[in-house]
Structure 1
C-alpha cells in the first residue's frame, strides 16, 4: 500500500524515461507487482511497438492509445503470459489492428499462491518470436532473447539501437523473481541469468515491475550469488532437521512479509527440484533429505 509520504504514482500517464522509450504504469499494485505493471512504448517516430500491454483495464488501455498520438502501433509484444502482462494485448490489437507478437502461448492450471500470476488463457499471438529473431519499425529494432525460468515461454527484448533490454519478470531490481513449478524451472532460470550476464551489449534493463536497472551486470552477478546462497541455506535447513518446505520458509525468510511466504515456498520447491536433479537431495514424500555422504 502506498503511504502518505510517497509521491503519487503516475498511473495512466505516458512518461519518457529514455531515448525511444516511454512507460505507462498500470493501476495493479500488489506485493507481487510492486507499484504495478509497466507497459513500454518503443519508438519516437511514425511506428511504435508496445511491450507488455498489461492487465485489461480500460484506464490503462486508454492511456496507451492516448500515448500513441498520431503514431501507428505496429507490434504488441509480450514477455510472457501471466495475467498482469498480456491480457490487454487482445483489446489493444482489436482497436488498432496491430499484431500480437512475442512469446508462445502457454496455459496451465495454476495452484500457486498468487491469483494475478495465473496464465492468460485468451492470449493468441499472430507471430511467435524465436530466440534471436527481430522485428523493426521506424528507428527501432527489437530482438527476442529467450529467458525461460520464471515461465517456460519467457522472452526479454533487446532494443538494438540503445543497449536497453526489457526484462519482463526475469530480472527486477525491487525483488527476485518467483520461480514456481511445474512450469517455473530453477535450472532454466539460472541458465538464463548466466546468459544475460554474458551479454555485454546490454547497458540498462527496463523490468515490468520496479525501477530501471542501471548496473545490470552487477545486479545479475549478485542474483546468481543469491540463488547459490539459497541453495546452501536449503541444504543447511535439511541438515538441521527442517525437512519440509513449510518448516524451511519461516527460517529462511525472516523479516519478509508473510504474505509472500507461499510464493517463497514455490521458489524453495524449484530449488529443491534443481538440487534433486543434481543428486544433492532426495525426496521422501513431502520431506527432503541429504544423500549419504553429503552432510
Structure 2
C-alpha cells in the first residue's frame, strides 16, 4: 500500500517559504491530474531558480513575479513539456531575462484523442535555451542543482537535486498524492522503473513533487511506488491467466477502486505495462502492442 501524503496548506497566488532555500507558489489549475494545482518552486535568495513555472495563466505569472520582487531570476528549470508545467516559461523569460533549462522532446508525439485524452496535454512549443537531456549541473550563489534524467512519465522528464538540502524536485516522476501516469508512446514503463531506482539510489531526504506536498519518508515511499507497479503487472498476468483480453475489458475490473475519471489514464498506464511485459516475454499481443490489441500469456501462445 502506498503511504500517500495529500495534506497541503496553501493559498492560490501566495508565496510560502517551505524550507530554508525553497519557496512555493501554487497555480489555480486544480484537476484530476494536477491535484490542487501546479506547485511552482523558487530556489535560493537574490539570484534564484524557478522550477516548473506552470500553465500560461497571467495571474500565476504575476504571483511568481511578486514573489521574486527585488531578486533576479537566473534559471528557469523545466521537468517536462506537459502543459501544466512548461508553458509559462516563455512569458517568465520575457519578464526576467532568465535562461530556460530542460530537455526537448525528440519528436512531436500525437495528442491523445477521444476516450483516452489526457487533461494536461503537451506543450509542443517547449524549447529550452540550454539542454540538460544528458544531465548536468547549474548553480548560483547559495544553491547548486543537478539535473537527473528520469525518462518514463515522458521521454524528456528531468528531476532536479538541490545539493544543499539533499532534496529533489521530482516533477511528475514521484508524487505523494497519486501514482504517475505513463502514456505511450512518449511514456515508457521500462524507462520509468529504471528511473525510479535512480532516484531511490540518491537517498534524498525530501522529494518535492510539482503537484502536492513534499515526501519526507523517501525510501519507503519509493519502494511502495515500485511495489505498486509490480502489483499492477501481477494483476494483469492474473487476469490474462483466465484468457485473452483487451485493455478496455481489464480496466473496469482492475481499477474498480479508482475514480472513473482516471480510467482513461489508467488505460494508458496499462498499455505501458503491457508493452513492458511483452518486452520481458511474459505476454504477447496480436501484432504490435497497442490500446486495442488482444493480449494473452506467452505460455498460452506456444
Task: Report the TM-score range of the alignment, normalised by the length of the smaller protein.
Answer: over 0.9
Rounded Cα–Cα distance in structure 1 between residues aligned with 2:133 and 2:257: 41
Query: Conserved in 2, the CA contact under 8 Å of 1:84 and 1:116?
Result: no
The gaps in structure 1 that reach 5 residues or longer are: 1-5
Aligned to 2:298: 291
Give the Å deviation of 1:245: 0.4
Give the Å deviation of 1:197: 1.4
Rounded Cα–Cα distance in structure 2 between residues aligned with 1:213 and 1:114: 29
Rounded Cα–Cα distance in structure 1 between residues aligned with 2:180 and 2:248: 20
Aligned to 1:154: 157
Out of 253, 257, 263, the position equivalent to 1:261 is 263
Out of 176, 186, 191, the position equivalent to 2:189 is 186
Rounded Cα–Cα distance in structure 1 between residues aligned with 2:224 and 2:216: 14
Rounded Cα–Cα distance in structure 1 between residues aligned with 2:117 and 2:219: 29
Give the Å deviation of 1:238: 1.1
3-state SS of paired residue (1:228): helix
Give the Å deviation of 1:239: 1.4
The gaps in structure 2 that reach 5 residues or longer are: 1-6, 288-292
Query: Conserved in 1, the CA contact under 8 Å of 2:244 and 2:297?
Result: no
> For residues 213 and 143 of structure 1, do their structure 2 counterparts lie closer, same or farther at Cα, with a shift above 3 Å needed?
same
Give the structure-1-normalised TM-score.
Answer: 0.93
Aligned to 1:214: 216
Aligned to 1:12: 13
Give the Å deviation of 1:242: 5.9
Report the RMSD for the aligned CA atoms in angstroms: 1.8
Aligned to 1:31: 32
Rounded Cα–Cα distance in structure 2 between residues aligned with 1:150 and 1:194: 14
Query: Conserved in 2, the CA contact under 8 Å of 1:82 and 1:116?
Result: no
Query: Conserved in 1, the CA contact under 8 Å of 2:105 and 2:155?
Result: no
Map 1:139-150 to 2 at 5 A.
139-150=142-153
Give the structure-2-normalised TM-score.
Answer: 0.91
Aligned to 1:98: 98
> For residues 293 and 246 of structure 1, do their structure 2 counterparts lie closer, same or farther at Cα, with a shift above 3 Å needed?
closer
3-state SS of paired residue (1:167): strand
Rounded Cα–Cα distance in structure 1 between residues aligned with 2:136 and 2:239: 43
Deviation sequence 1:211-239 (CA, Å, 0-9, x none): 10001111111111111111110011111
Map 1:10-89 to 2 at 5 A.
10-44=11-45, 46-89=46-89
Give the Å deviation of 1:255: 2.0
Rounded Cα–Cα distance in structure 2 between residues aligned with 1:75 and 1:148: 22
Q: In terms of mean alpha carbon deviation, does 117-126 or 211-220 score higher?
A: 117-126
